[in-house]
Amino acid sequence: MKKQFAILALFIIASLQAVSQKHAIRLEFSDVYDQERIWTEIQRTGLTGIDPTSDNEVRISYDLSRVHQLEGMTNSFSGNAKVLIRLKNRSGKPDTTWSFSSHVKVKNKWDAYEKLTSDFLEDSKGLKNSLMVINHTLDIFYSRNCTSVLAEANEYFRRKNLKEAYANAKKIEDGICGKEAKNLIAQVENTYSDEFCGEILPRIKILASSGVAYQMEKAIELLYRYPPKAKCNDEVQKVAKSVGDYISKLPQKQSIEINNILSNGQSFNKIFEY
């Protein structure tokens, strides 16, 4: 298992330009020192796909059971410290676990935690690579369970839960039932576009016409959910003009972002993150 992991890790490192999770995961921690540093690194690298509601649980834990005080030396600890990365198995089989190891020689156990955290975040086989290997494993899982995932996606769509229908269909769009998944994705996108034009846009118009600052802010917030190629594009552009002065006063980055959305539409991946 370790040999397979190493080969796969080298392949991913060689081909990876940016870190992006195709399958949403939920990160959990157990006995981890300085979790904030891990989260900061995730945010710094722009890692996507971390979703606290995802049923793909990834648990990160530390194992310092082999780090011991050196005989006769009160301020010297040495040994092999590990980060265990465990993917919870949804099919009832044992969880899949990988490990990242780092040899540490430090003054105390707290320094061992600190050294292990630094190595895990900075090493090419550490955090980013571990998450990409998990992503590949989920690819295989969803490919093998394509029919059941598609059925689940269709059931969500029947219940008008577009977010979950979309998320499940996206998991298998490159699998053996990809054609059916892509058809469902198109249905979800069309349904959402109709909902935007029929339900969300009228709310935006009312808010935008108020002239009240906080309501204008709410109108712009809802415009972030404007989908590509919506049938109501002309109406959206009229609303955009009515809030144009307000948009121009926003911080430059936000102003550019909202104007780009008004020109091209927000991606459905982003829309269903709201």
pLDDT surpassing 70 at residue 2: no
Q: What is the pLDDT at residue 12?
A: 34
Q: Report, as an integer, the average pLDDT of 93-98.
A: 80
Pairing of strands 96-106, 67-69: unpaired
| Residue 251, SS3 per DSSP | coil
Which residues, including other chains, have CB under 8 Å from residue 272's CB and lie 6 or more apart? 162, 163, 166, 167
What is the structure's pLDDT at 4?
Answer: 39
Partners of residue 28 on adjacent β-strands: 59
pLDDT digits (tens, 9 = 90+) for 57-88: 888 889 999 998 887 666 788 999 999 888 88
What structural domains does the chain harbor? Answer: 2-143 (3.40.50), 146-271 (no CATH)
pLDDT band for position 91 (50/70/90)? low
- Taking each helix axis from N to C terminus, what angle separates 127-144 and 35-44, rounded to the nearest 10 degrees? 80
Q: What is the pLDDT of residue 8?
A: 36
57-to-50, 85, 232 alpha-carbon distances in Å: 10, 10, 39
Q: pTM to 2 decimals?
A: 0.68
C-beta pairs of 162-169 under 8 Å, 24+ apart in sequence: 162/188, 162/191, 162/192, 162/195, 162/272, 163/272, 166/268, 166/272, 167/24, 167/272
Q: What single string gives the DSSP state of each residue in 164-226?
A: HHHHHHHHTTTSTTHHHHHHHHHHHHHHHHHHIIIIIHHHHHHHHTS--HHHHHHHHHHHTTP
Q: How confident is the model at residue 232 (pLDDT cuts 50, 70, 90)?
A: very high
Report the chain's mean pLDDT, rounded to a whole number.
82
Whether 31 has a pLDDT exceeding 80, the answer reads no
- The per-residue pLDDT for range 178-205, each reduced to its tens digit, is 999 999 999 999 999 999 999 999 999 9
